Chains A and B, each alone.
Chain A
Amino acid sequence: MISIRSLSITYETSARSVPAVREVSLDIPAGKITAIVGESGGGKSSLVYGILRLLPPEASFSGSILYGRENIVSASDAWIRNFRWKKAALVTQGAMNSLTPVISVGSQIAEVLQVKMGLKRQEAMKRAGELLEMTGLPADYARRYPHELSGGQKQRAVIAMAMACSPDFLLADEPTSALDVITQAEVITTLAGMVRRRGMGLLLVTHDLPLAASICDTLAVMHRGRIVETGTPASILKSPSHSHTRELLSAYRVIGGQLQ
């Protein structure tokens, strides 16, 4: 379980300080899917990167993020490096620029296995092929470079990479936003399926409320850096209590999205 307790993240520039996350408390239980939805610029991504302590130096923290007994906010660099990917792995918008363009997809996955798990190069490459197959890509795509993959294929490769060290948690930051609707559904189904099969925890961050609601166990709505509503997707969809949730919902109703 990752427990966030009254976490605030502020970006201190020379001119002013911009609060991104304000007094957020949230539990991300293992083996469950937790979703955070909210408008862009609402502090969701800062929260995710904060958990991995990947924020730029001008970001300052207060509060705590507990993993077991360790507080991530104040943990040592060595501990964080071990925590990253082995305990919590990141799934970003793979369709964009998440894969290093000059390294083959397989080598990028194998690199993590070699560095973090101590595998030999050959084993690592073989395992990389298996991971790709798990996400629905042919194993020999390991030899391909990012520019040879389509957006959906890149996203699957990014998910395969996140699974490499069998982490306890996946942190997914808008994993499907850049994909077309059909690919979005395929990718999110693959992701949810793998997480459930392996009993991992997933923190899904998205602005797409219906998509989040369709797969998550717990839904949190974030607005201007605060979590304004938490609950099961069914209860929130039925009776949204916060005006921002209603706005998010009505946006989809207007467009004509059919909720379950």
Chain B
Amino acid sequence: MRGYWVRRAAGAVAVLLLVIAANFFLFRVMPGDVVSSIVDPRFSPEAKERMRELFGLDLPLHSQFFIYVRRMLTFDFGISFLSQRPVWDELRSRIPNTAALLGSALLLSSIIGTWLGVKAAQRRGGLIEKVALVSGSVSFSFPSFFVQLVLLLLFAYTFPLFPLRGSVSIPVPQGTLPQVLDYLWHLALPAGSLVLLGFGSWAIYVRNLMVKTLGEDFVLLARAKGLSEERVLWNHAFRSALPPVLTIFLLALPGIVSGAIITETVFSLHGVGKFLLDSILGHDYPAAGAAFYILALLTITSNLAADAAYSIADPRIRVGHRAER
């Protein structure tokens, strides 16, 4: 157990450092003066000089890197070219929105996908299995933004049930409950579309895993015990398939974060992904680097969470091999 956690944590730290290093070098291999990628070219010469000092740009590269790592770890991302405000202030208000979008989409699509996958494996050749297979193909081949544009066209234009854009109404409604409802109303279509796109591939993976698990001896024995079919399915087969299901979660996570960037763009949400795009399009390099870093950090954190869930679901990791007595 401890060995597992040391390995996982070391892996996460290594990925984090790699992301920081990639960030550091990506924005320094750009054509032109290094300063122009970190300091707004429109700043006054005095301000530029101050930024140079702050970033240690006159120091050797490795010292610059250490300064950079420290600043990344303390969320000190510098000043945005576009808004002239600290990048962290810009990001801080956006992180909860992105987390809410990712969280709700992941939760719902995993629940729906898992249920569908388990049922599809239980009744091979049935209607549910066909639904799972078709929706899986859709997940793999339909571009997310296309499906979302169609949904927008249908449910925000033709039948105006949901807002066309934004995370909140303008003006913001008064009172906590109306605000929450307004927020959910804006989140419904983006998160719903991510669920619609995500559950199919999820269902297919779970189905394949469950088909394999249902052929195992212990499932036969559980049936032989005269347990109800639901109990055999969930308590024995699904619980045993849960660790590999969590592995899928790990593999799917980066794709879902990528999907969130596109989703935030389609629905003009006030999130980190949209901020990343706007920063890149506006050549706001400190902001783009910071947004990328935050997205990577969100992924790494969720990765660790999934690892934790894995270690709880799989006794082979939770208890390891106790010494024979």
| Choice from A84, A96, A97, A148 contacting B225 with Cβ under 8 Å | A84
Contact assessment for A101 and B225 in the assembled complex, using a CB-CB cutoff below 8 Å: no
Interface residues in A134-182 (C-beta closer than 8 Å to B): 138, 144-145, 147-148, 158, 161
B:211-259 near A, CB below 8 Å:
216-218, 220-228, 231, 235-236, 239-240, 242-243
Q: Which A residues are CB-close (under 8 A) to B218?
A: 97-101
Known: A98-B218, A115-B231. A148 touches B224 (CB 8 A): no
A226 on the B face (CB < 8 A): no
Are A111 and B235 in contact (CB-based, < 8 A)? yes
In this complex, how many residues of chain B approach chain A with their Cβ under 8 Å: the count is 27
Stretch in B188-196, B290-298, B313-321 with 4+ CB within 8 Å of A: B313-321
With CB as the reference atom, state the residue of chain B lying closest to A144. B322
Interface size class of A (residues with CB under 8 A): 20 to 34
User: A93 at the A/B interface (Cβ < 8 Å)?
Assistant: yes
Interface string of B156-185 (1 = CB under 8 A from A): 000000000000000000000000000000
**Nearest chain B CB to A99's CB is how many angstroms away?**
6
Which one, A49, A90, A102, A148, contacts B314 given CB within 8 A? A102
Q: Which residues of B contact A96 (CB under 8 A)?
A: 217
Looking at the assembled complex, report how far the CB atom of A46 sits from the nearest CB atom of chain B, in whole angstroms.
13
Are B316 and A101 in contact, CB atoms less than 8 angstroms apart? Answer: yes
Query: Which residues 37-91 of A sit at the B interface, judged by CB distance below 8 A?
Result: 49, 52, 54, 80-86, 89-90
> A184 interface residue, CB < 8 Å from B?
no
**B314 closest partner in A (C-beta):** A102
Assess whether A92 is in contact with B316, with CB atoms less than 8 Å apart.
Answer: no
A147–B282 alpha-carbon span in the complex (Å): 56
The reply to whether A116 and B226 contact each other, CB–CB distance below 8 Å, is yes
Asked whether any CB of chain B lies closer than 8 Å to the CB of A103, the reply is yes
Q: How many A-B residue pairs have CB under 8 A?
A: 81
Q: CB-CB < 8 A to B240: which residues of A? A: 100-102
Q: What distance in Å separates the Cβ of B212 from its nearest Cβ neighbour in chain A?
A: 12
Residue of B nearest to A101 (CB): B240
Query: Smallest Cβ distance from B277 to chain A, in angstroms?
Result: 43
Q: B215 to nearest A CB, angstroms?
A: 10
| Alpha-carbon distance between A100 and B224 when the two chains are bound, in angstroms | 13
A10 beta carbon closer than 8 Å to chain B: no
Decide if B220 touches A92 in the complex (CB within 8 Å).
yes
Given contacts A99-B218, A101-B315, 10 further A-B contacts (CB under 8 A): A84-B224, A84-B225, A92-B217, A96-B217, A100-B239, A101-B218, A116-B225, A145-B316, A158-B221, A161-B225
Q: Which residues of B contact A (CB under 8 A)?
A: 216-218, 220-228, 231, 235-236, 239-240, 242-243, 313-316, 319, 321-322, 325
6 closest A-B pairs by CB: A84-B226, A90-B224, A145-B315, A81-B226, A97-B217, A100-B218
A residues whose Cβ falls under 8 Å from a Cβ of B: 49, 52, 54, 80-86, 89-90, 92-93, 96-104, 111-112, 115-116, 138, 144-145, 147-148, 158, 161
